[in-house]
Structure 1
Amino acid sequence: MRAIETKQLKKMYGSVPVVNGLDLVVEKGEIFGLLGRDGAGKSTFINMLTGIVQQSSGTYSLLGVACPNAQVKKRIGVMPEYSALYSSMTAVEHLQYLSSLSGKPAGKQRCIDVLHSVALAAHAHKKSREFSFGMIKKLGIAQAIIHDPELIFLDEPTSGLDAESVLVIHQLIIEMQKRGKTIIMTSHNLDEVERLCTRIAIMKAGQIVRMGTMDELRAFYRQTVKVRIKHAPVPAAQREILYRWLKTAGTKLEIAECYTTIHLEEEKKIADILRAFHHCKTDVYRAEVAGPTLEEIFLDESE
C-alpha cells in the first residue's frame, strides 16, 4: 500500500502557482525527506496533504484512501514547525485532549510513555507556559504520535533542540520506521536528512527538481571523486617529483605535511596515486573517498 500518492497536485494563490502540478509516490515505511529553500512550496504541499489547505486542482490519496476523508485523517499525525499550545494545560493534559480529538483517547500512562520517548517525561505535569522552545518542540512531536498514527508529518522536528535531544528524536524516528510507520519530514539540517531519510526530494518553485536515495543522488552528481590521503611526511628529495605527478593525475590538489586531497575523474586512478606515494618512499596510512554531500546537491539544485 502506498502511503502517499499525488497526481498533478496544484495550489494557486491568485495567478501564482505555489505548488505546480506535483506527481509523487511515497511507499509505506519510508522516511521521506522534503527539502527546499523558503518559498519552494514545501509547507503548502504538506498543508494540502494534511487538509489545512484546499488544492486548486489535482488529486491525492493517503494510505490508499482518496482525500479529503475524515476517517483517514485520524490515521495521520502532524507536527507543525510551530505548535500552538494552551498555556494553562500540562503536557499530559495536552496529549489527553488532542488524542481525544483524534477519536483514540489516550490514558495517562500512554501519555507518560510518549513523553518519555521524546525525553519530556520529567516535565509531564508542568504547564506549557513554563516550557522552553525546545520543550515545545518535543511536545509537538508527542502530540503528533500520541494516537499511534500510520503516517506522520514532521516539520523541522529537531530545530532548536540540544544535541542530546536531537539524538533522542533521531532514535525515535528510526524506531517508528521499524514499526512500519511512514514519516515525511522537512529539515534545514541537511546532515540529519542525509543520515535518516530513505529517499529525498528537492523542491524549487513548486516542483520537485530532483528525487532519489542518497546513493542515486550521488551517482547523478558524481562528476569527480574526492580522495583524501593521510600519509607520512614526504622525503624532501621526493616532494617535487610527487607534486608534479599528482598535478597531472587530478584537480583541486591540496598538499599538507601529512594530508593530500585531490579530485579524480576515475576511481581507478586511486591505485596509481597510492603507487606514486610508494615510489616516493612515503607510507600511506589511510585513503578516504567521498562523493558529493547532500548540501552540495541541494545548493546546486535549489539555486
Structure 2
Amino acid sequence: MNNPYRRSYTLLPNKNINFKEKRNKVGVLPDYSTFYEDLNALDHLRYFSKILGLKSSKENLIKILKRVELEDAIYLKTKKFSFGMKKKLGIAQALINNPDILFLDEPTSGVDANAVLNIHKIINDIAKHGTTIFLTSHNLDEVEKICDEIAIMDKGVIRAQGTMEQLKSNYDKNITVNIKHSILPPDILKILKKELHAIDSNVQWNGNTTSIVVPNENTIARINRLFLEMNIDVFRIEVDEPTLEEIFLNTGGNKHN
C-alpha cells in the first residue's frame, strides 16, 4: 500500500543562479589534508589560490596564515609540520577564497590538547566574522562546547536538531537538582519537607544534601529563595542534565535497547 504522506520532489536548475560563483564562496577542510612537502606554507597557499583563479597578494596570504596562528611557519616546508600545524594549514587553505560557508570535517582529530584549544579559538573567531560553519565531529564534547546548533544524524537521516538546550529539553523534561546545605534542625526540616513536597513529590533527603526533581529552571530559583528565606546555608547547587553523549546514544537508530 502506498504511503499517502509520501511526496516526490523534482529539483529543476535555476538558470538565474551562477553555481560557479556560489561554489567559489565555499571552503572545505577534509579530515585528512595532503600537502606538497617541498612547498612552504606561503607557497602552498599561493599554489591553491592560482588553482581557484584568485588574485591573492602575498600580504593577504600571510594575513590568513597569521589568522590560523601559523605566523612562525610562513616559510617552513610542510614536511616539517606537526599534525596540528597541518590542520591549521588546511583551515588556512579553506579560507583563501574568503568563504561565506565553511565545512570542517573532524578539525581536531589526532592533535594534542594545546592544538585543540587553538583550533577552537580559530573556529570561534571565523564564526564571529560572519562565516557559517558546518562542523562534523565524533568528539561530542567538542560539539557541545563550540556549536550553536547541533544535528544528530543516523544513516544519513537527521534524527534530532536544535540548540543544546532544546536537545536537553526534548530528551528529558525533568531536571534533578542536588543541594548541599547546612544540617537542618528537626523543626526546620519538618517545614522544609512540607514546602518542597508542595513543589514536587520526588524529594530525597540525606543529612546535609537534598535532591529534588523539578520541571524547569524557574523552579530552581524558587527553591533557592525558599532556603534563603528559612536562613538555611546553601553551599552548592548542582543540576544533573543529560550530556550530548547521552542524548546521542538514545536518539533514533543509535538508541540502545
**Coarse TM-score class (shorter-chain normalised):** 0.7 to 0.9
Q: Which residue identity does 1:143 align to in structure 2? A: Q
**Aligned match for 2:64, one of 111, 114, 123:** 114
Counterpart position of 1:214: 164
Which residue in the other structure is 1:182 paired with? 132
The alignment partner of 1:159 has SS state of coil
Of 123-132 and 77-86, more deviation after overlay is shown by 123-132
Question: What's the counterpart of residue 250 of structure 1?
Answer: 202
How many Å separate the matches in 1 of 2:12 and 2:156?
16
Q: Which residue of 2 aligns with 1:37?
A: none
1:84 to 29, 34, 49: 34
Please state how far the C-alpha of 1:78 moved relative to its aligned partner: 0.5
Determine what percentage of the aligned residue pairs are the same residue. 40
Q: Is the 8 A contact 1:83 1:136 kept in 2?
A: yes
Task: Looking at secondary structure, tell me which structure has more strand per residue.
Answer: 1
Structure 1 residues 107, 216: closer, same or farther in 2, change over 3 A?
same
| Number of the residue aligned with 1:150 | 100
Greater RCO (Cα-Cα under 8 Å, separation 6 or more): 1
State which drifts further: 184-193 or 73-82: 184-193
Shift of 1:83: 0.2
Distance between the aligned counterparts of 1:58 and 1:162, measured in 2?
46
Alignment-mate amino acid for residue 170 of structure 1:
H
Structure 2 counterparts to residues 1-303 of structure 1, below 5 A: 65=17, 69-232=19-182, 234=183, 249-250=201-202, 261-265=211-215, 270=220, 271=222, 275=226, 282-301=232-251, 302-303=254-255
Amino acid at match of 1:201: A
Query: Residues 240-291 of structure 1: CA distance to partner in whole angstroms, max 9, x if unpaired?
Result: 979x98898437x595x76555544565764458757987x85213424354
Q: CA deviation at 1:166?
A: 2.9
Q: 3-state DSSP class of the match of 1:170?
A: helix
After the TM superposition, which parts of structure 1 deviate over 6 Å for at least 4 consecutive aligned residues?
244-248, 276-279
Check the 8 A contact 1:174/1:196 in 2, yes or no: yes
TM value normalised by structure 2 = 0.75
1:144 to partner: Cα distance? 0.6
Q: Which has the higher helix share?
A: 2
Letter in 2 for 1:93: D
In the alignment, residue 81 of structure 1 is paired with which amino acid? D
Instruction: State the shift of 1:77 in Å.
Output: 0.7
Question: Structure 1 pair 268/148, CA: closer, same or farther in 2 (3 Å)?
Answer: closer
Change in Cα spacing, 1:92 to 1:110, as seen in structure 2 (3 Å) is: same
Q: For the Cα contact (< 8 Å) 2:120–2:146, is it kept in 1?
A: yes
Amino acid at match of 1:213: T
Residue ranges of structure 1 left out of the alignment (5+ in a row) = 1-56
Give the RMSD, CA atoms, in angstroms.
Answer: 3.6
- 1:172-215 CA-to-partner distances (Å, cap 9, x unmatched) read 32332232211111122223322322221111011111112223
1:151 and 1:268 map into 2 onto residues whose CA distance is 37
